[in-house]
Structure 1
């Protein structure tokens, strides 16, 4: 079969080999080009020296040796430039190969860590958690993907009651380890391996304990539909900023949640449709400075909720259509900065209130 001499070599499928001309074509072409360039330079140099010799008094003959020296010098300079370009191209190819090798290795690490997270033994899943966290530190381009996998693990069905048939031994330790790993990466916002500006999606997750204290969330964080029950979840001193904080439809039951000294300074802090039932939730000394803090349609039933010395921002606090039945709600020494506390259409039944400086709403 005839093959055109001008056809470039095709890279094997799946390889990154550049399309280069065959050597037996490139070599003659390069020699011809070099000869042609040398001929042009020689004649240009000859004309230059001939003009210089003719301008002398008396005129002198052209020194061929000077012409040849100038030609060789120019060719050497051109060759040096071409050699530098070739070396630079080789460096780019080598760096590309190294980058692809690194990417391949990181992808293999991701696959291995994901497989470990799906293993039947808790000890192997723990190893997968740490492996994925290390990968997120090393692979900044895919850091969000690694974090999404950890958050997705927390969103998976989980039975915290050890007496329940669905309870799996060691699972709580795996989940608590994920929370610790996330918290450890949220302590220093300017660190190279910080996860503070990544998004976290804990929608529908079950938390039977966990420590997020002094964490810095500088992105969108969703605890929408999450369940906090059975133990203590600590957000004390945490900072939520530059995004949306979503606790809508979350359930706080039979446990303790601390937001003491926390700062929620996003555009919207949403506890709409949240249920506080049989739990203790502390917002003492917290700063809720988002444009609006929503507790719309929230249900406070048999819980103890403290807003003592809490600072509400200029958007105020909206408890519209909330239901208060039983339990204790305290606003002792709370502060409203420019906004107001809105309890329009709220329902009050048997709840003990400490209104502090807030005006007592009608029906309370």
Structure 2
């Protein structure tokens, strides 16, 4: 029992001294020497010691102290080694594995050496005990001492083999993990390469598409300037197809069509009419009569312009199943309706313009000439609508039209009937919403029956040659008829929105509010 206590004490003390010596605690080495001297002195002072036993005890004490110190020194080094940060450990995951101390070379060697020393110490101790036993039992005890001592010594090899097998298993698992990571890295790199290639291919396709669109657009615009009507018609249809399939080009192509219609032009039947230019403003008459020398055939050019008008009218007409008061439609290549389109037809000559139940954004028909009948029935003007200075040479219908922004008809000329029945003149955010008809000349009947003026309706300086019908109109603000007049050449049966009387002044009568 004393031998076991001494072995445990010296081994533990050596382990402690080795662990602390790494931190420069040299005083612990002296403590180990003193502890070993204490155990040795205690043994030497006993009555049962012998020279052989003394030698065995001194060797055993020295070996246990040395082994314990070596193990403690190795453990101290392991504990004192700074732990790598997470980033460094992640960076070294693909490198050699970091073994636990027990699975390192020094750990396996130390463990095997400890077991071997314990076996040797046990063998020596048991042989010493067997040598002091009575003769009859000495042989048997010596055989047992050899058997158990050598068995413990052999266990050192078994322990080393077990630790090596465990390290080999850990190495195999680490290699498998590295292989999986390598495969994941390869797959990730392949996926990144594939995405990059798809992005490059998509970019190339977009570039090719843009180039193709530019080429088609340029070619179609060039065709519009050709002398042959058939070539110009082909250019119009090419632009229509391009706008239908390319949402981003719709407004641009509409602008091109509007620019074509704004070019000076007079229909052939009007050029032959002696009374045509007499009914126009002087500027408009000079514009139209100045194009008679155009090399283009007037009848063929008329067909080209009618085609341009029909393209606009066809794509600005709302679908019949769409509720104009419902949710606004968004541009879609699968539908022929082109929403949110602005029109600039200022100064254009339009023949038999027919836009039933259409929808346009901001539009300008300033100083435009409408030849033949003009139809805007049920059309919604979602932004400003400018008809100032426009000339309507035929019947003009704005029945059920909706003006959500400002509507200006000042200085417009209505040569024949003008109908605004049930039209809605409503203000919109950012606009005053006034319906302006100042200095308008209504040369035939004008019908505003059922119209709704949500802002001020101004008819100042207007001339009503034919009958004026304002029955059942709604005025949220009092309308204005300052210095307006009517023709007295025919019996009048007018229906005014406010009490007005006619004061004769020659062939005309001034409207005066009662």
For the superposition of Structure 1 and Structure 2, which TM-score range results when normalised by the shorter chain? 0.7 to 0.9
- 1:338 equivalent to 2:441? Answer no
Q: Distance in 1 between matches of 2:94 and 2:352?
A: 84
Give the counterpart of 2:456 among 309, 316, 330. 316
- 1:232 equivalent to 2:373? Answer yes
Residue 197 of structure 1 aligns to a residue in which SS?
Answer: coil
Q: Normalization by structure 1: what TM-score?
A: 0.78
The CA deviation at 1:68 is 2.4
Partner in structure 2 of residue 329 of structure 1: 468
Matches within 5 A, 1:170-319: 170-186=300-316, 187-188=318-319, 189-190=329-330, 192-193=332-333, 194-217=337-360, 219-229=361-371, 231-241=372-382, 243-253=383-393, 255-264=394-403, 266-276=404-414, 278-290=415-427, 291-300=433-442, 302-313=443-454, 315-319=455-459
Change (3 A) 1:330 1:90: same
The CA deviation at 1:51 is 6.3
Partner in structure 2 of residue 132 of structure 1: 239
Partner in structure 1 of residue 97 of structure 2: 46
Do the aligned residues in 2 keep the contact of 1:334 with 1:356 (CA within 8 Å)?
no
Change (3 A) 1:39 1:180: closer
Give the counterpart of 1:60 among 150, 155, 163. 163
The CA deviation at 1:268 is 0.6
Q: Distance in 2 between matches of 1:214 and 1:91?
A: 45
Output one character per residue of 1:210-264: Cα deviation in whole Å (capped at 9) or x when no partner.
Answer: 21111112x10111111113x11211121212x11111111123x1111122222
Residue 97 of structure 2 aligns to a residue in which SS?
Answer: helix
Larger RCO (CA within 8 A; separation ≥ 6): 1
Structure 2 unaligned regions, length at least 5:
1-88, 112-158, 273-291, 320-328, 428-432, 503-509
Q: Distance in 1 between matches of 2:302 and 2:103?
A: 94
- 1:74 equivalent to 2:181? Answer yes
Output one character per residue of 1:137-194: Cα deviation in whole Å (capped at 9) or x when no partner.
Answer: 1111121111100111110111113455446221122111112111211223456143
RMSD: 2.8
Do the aligned residues in 2 keep the contact of 1:233 with 1:257 (CA within 8 Å)?
yes
The size of the alignment, in residue pairs, is: 316
Judging by fraction of residues, say which structure has more strand. Answer: 1
Change (3 A) 1:345 1:357: closer
Judging by fraction of residues, say which structure has more helix. Answer: 2
Q: Normalization by structure 2: what TM-score?
A: 0.57
Change (3 A) 1:78 1:190: closer
